[in-house]
Amino acid sequence: METAVTHFIRLRVISGLTKGDGVLPDGPLTAAVGGTVMFTTTVTPPDKRFLSVAWSFSFNNTQPIPIITSTSSDIISPEYEGRITLDISTGSLELRDLALTDSGEYRVNIVPDGGQQMLGSTRLEILVSQGLSAGAIAGIVIACVVVVGGALGGGFYIYKKKDA
């Protein structure tokens, strides 16, 4: 019994020290609905391919949901199909077409060939865009100027045509 408790404490201390481990930047990361976020690891690409890279998602400390597990092939959860790109050389993950439900904790577990397991976690907060961007406003103004200019030009043409 004493041996089991000692092993548990050792594992707990080791896992506590390696969690985060500088693999991911401190969070939270923020992104807008419909946008893209890149979870960039600090891992230097190894000479040999990683044995595995696994990403998972958790909302409010719920059971983690697998996003992707990459070994010799990729296993992608259906809700992330077509929305993610994994850089297998660094373990970095790109997530696209963001929704409010993507807010939460993201975890990565990287197992190098012949090296120590690397764990990391960070939070993502999805923001709802408020109002129009400067580019959208400029586009609307330009469109209005073109329409008004066209209407004035057309009216002037019709007026001159009647006089002739």
| Nearest C-alpha neighbor of 15 from the set 107, 88, 98, 79 | 107
pTM for this model (two decimals): 0.67
Percent of the chain scoring above 90 in pLDDT? 59
Residue with tokens 């896992």: 15
Round to whole Å and give the CA distance between 109 and 16: 14
Q: What is the pLDDT of residues 91-141, one digit of tens each?
A: 999 999 999 999 999 999 999 998 899 999 999 999 987 766 667 677 787
Q: Name which residue leads in pLDDT, 29 or 131.
A: 29
Q: Is the pLDDT of residue 16 over 80?
A: no
Q: Which tens digit of pLDDT belongs to each residue from 71-81?
A: 999 999 999 99
